[in-house]
Amino acid sequence: MSPTAIITGITGQDGSYLTELLVSKGYVVHGIVRQTGVLTPPRLAHLIREPEIYGSQLFLHYADLNDAMAIRRIVHQVAPDEFYHLAGQSHVGLSFEIPESTCELTAMGTLRILEILRELENPPRMLHASSREIFGTPPYIPQTENTPFDPSTPYGCAKSFATQLVKTYRDAQGLFCCNAICYNHESPRRGENFVTRKITIAAARIAAGLQEKVGLGDLAAARDWGFAGDYVEAMWRMLQQETPSDFVLATGESHSVTDWLDIAFSRAGLRWEDHVETDNSMFRSTDPCMLLGNPQKAESELDWKRTVGFEELVDLMFDADQERVCQELEKTS
Ligand code: GDP
């Protein structure tokens, strides 16, 4: 029989890559989708269009993360082997604007899922997509699975709560549940309000003559940026281990916003200095520095290695945005 998985957050960047991975491995995938009125979630459209996949290997169910009754019903119907909990409000900057709903979704949503799974006679293996935001501004680099939590944003506080709960349900309740402590991971499917996509879209549009300038905040800000497709592979490997454990998923390399600008704009044949303006609203009151993850445990225990390097990542995101811009132009001409 095919293994069965439930994914929360299936319409997001990671959810869509994970769905592709699981479908390619023969899983039946059930996605939990928030009711937004969008009939065909854009990141899943290519799978929904496939009659051999949608309705036979991929199913969507509507439920909000605060609707325990609906989630419980889906879990009972599907009886999954694996449960990937990826949903949540994941924009750090935005979590200062909407702290209550961020905590409700990210923290309490995880608690509800753990409680629902705990009640089952045969609980599925569960993966929680945690975040390096739990470390705040960490005391040392690189960070590991043992770095203490010290979050400095509402999103980080909510993720710390959820991450600790996962450990607690593993240790105290015996659930097979794990935290993937993910550093930033990007792709052509990244939301457009993240700095990486904002830069690659701007470079593509400026090169096509559709805009002149882009407003950005702190150009010196640095992150450990990897490719989302690589991170979902590690998530899957985590649930295939004999014992549940937490893993840092990172590249071990730090790059600045300026590095993104250099690569994306030079691929577009432009100088970013001619097009970037300062947007003061994009500066954060607290922004963690020293964010660098150590992927050693994942590399040795999961036999996982990223396949896309930094420059290649910027290039592939720019190329995808350039293609989209060309298609838009063709449609309007
Ligand atoms: P985050 O690491 O999850 O907060 O991912 P973001 O892509 O939102 O931000 C990464 C870094 O880029 C942060 O340090 C931001 O302060 C910095 N940054 C600089 N300009 C911008 C901008 O215009 N938009 C965003 N989202 N971040 C920016």
Tell whether ligand 1 has an atom less than 6 A from the beta carbon of residue 65.
no
Supply the Cα-derived Rg of the chain in whole angstroms.
20
Ligand 1: residue of 194, 214, 314 to mutate (most ligand atoms within 8 A of CB) is 194
Ligand 1 atom index nearest CA of 91: 3
Q: Of all helices (H) and strands (E), which one includes residue 33?
A: strand 28-33
Amino acid at 91: H
For every residue of 83-104, DSSP letters joined together read EEE--S---HHHHHHSHHHHHI
Distance of CA 239 from the midpoint of ligand 1 (Å): 31
Could you tell me if 93 and 135 are in contact, meaning their C-beta atoms sit under 8 angstroms apart? no
DSSP 201-270: HHHHHHHTTS-S-EEES-TT-EE--EEHHHHHHHHHHHTTSSS---EEE--S--EEHHHHHHHHHHHTT-
pLDDT reading at 39 higher than 80:
no
Confidence class for position 124, pLDDT limits 50, 70, 90:
very high
333 CA to centre of ligand 1 in angstroms: 34
Domain spans of the chain, in order of start: 4-186+225-249, 195-223+255-288+310-332
Looking at every residue in the chain, the average pLDDT score rounds to 95
Tokens of 11: 């319409």
Pick the atom of ligand 1 nearest to 196's CA.
Answer: 7
Distance CA 333, CA 321 (A): 18
CA contacts within 13 A on the Cβ side of 31: 31
* Strongest mean pLDDT among 93-102, 280-289, 303-312: 303-312
Q: pLDDT class for 273, splitting at 50, 70, 90?
A: very high
**Atom 10 (ligand 1): residue with closest C-alpha?**
195
Burial degree of 244 (CB within 10 A; 0-12, 13-18, 19+): buried
Phi, psi of 256 (to 5 degrees): -100, 170
184 pocket-lining for ligand 1 (C-beta < 6 Å): yes
Task: Evaluate the CA torsion angle 68, 70, 71, 73 in order and state its sign.
Answer: positive
The CB of 202 under 6 Å from ligand 1? The reply is no
% of the chain beyond a pLDDT of 90: 88
Q: Is 199 in the pocket of ligand 1 (CB under 6 A)?
A: no
Domain 4-186+225-249 architecture: 3-Layer(aba) Sandwich (3.40)
Given CATH 3.90.25.10, say whether it is the number of domain 195-223+255-288+310-332: yes
260 CA distance to ligand 1 centroid (A)?
12
| Confidence label for 80 from pLDDT (cuts 50, 70 and 90) | very high
How high is the pLDDT of residue 156? Answer: 93
Which region among 93-102, 125-134, 172-181, 256-265 has the lowest average model confidence (pLDDT)? Answer: 93-102
Q: How confident is the model at residue 37 (pLDDT cuts 50, 70, 90)?
A: low
Residue 286 predicted with pLDDT over 80: no
83 burial type by CB count under 10 A (0-12 exposed, 13-18 middle, 19+ buried): buried
Residue 290 pLDDT class (50, 70, 90 cuts): confident
The pLDDT-based confidence of 333 (bands split at 50, 70, 90) is confident
Average pLDDT over residues 121-149: 96
pLDDT at 326: 94
Three-state DSSP at 323 gives helix
Whether residue 302 has its Cβ less than 6 Å from ligand 1: no
Other residues' Cβ atoms within 10 Å of the Cβ of residue 193: 10
pLDDT of residue 3: 98
Token digits of residue 250: 């990172």
Give the residue, by CA position, lying nearest to ligand 1 atom 14.
221
| pLDDT value of residue 176 | 98
Kindly report, residue by residue over 154-205, the tens digit of the pLDDT. Answer: 999 999 999 999 999 999 999 999 999 999 999 999 999 999 999 999 999 9
Q: How far, in Å, from the CA of 93 to the mean position of ligand 1? A: 8
Secondary structure (DSSP) of 157-205: HHHHHHHHHHHHHHHHH---EEEEEEPPEE-TTS-TTSHHHHHHHHHHH
pLDDT > 80? residue 113? yes
What's the whole-number mean pLDDT along residues 242-255?
98
Residues noted as catalytic: 131, 133, 155
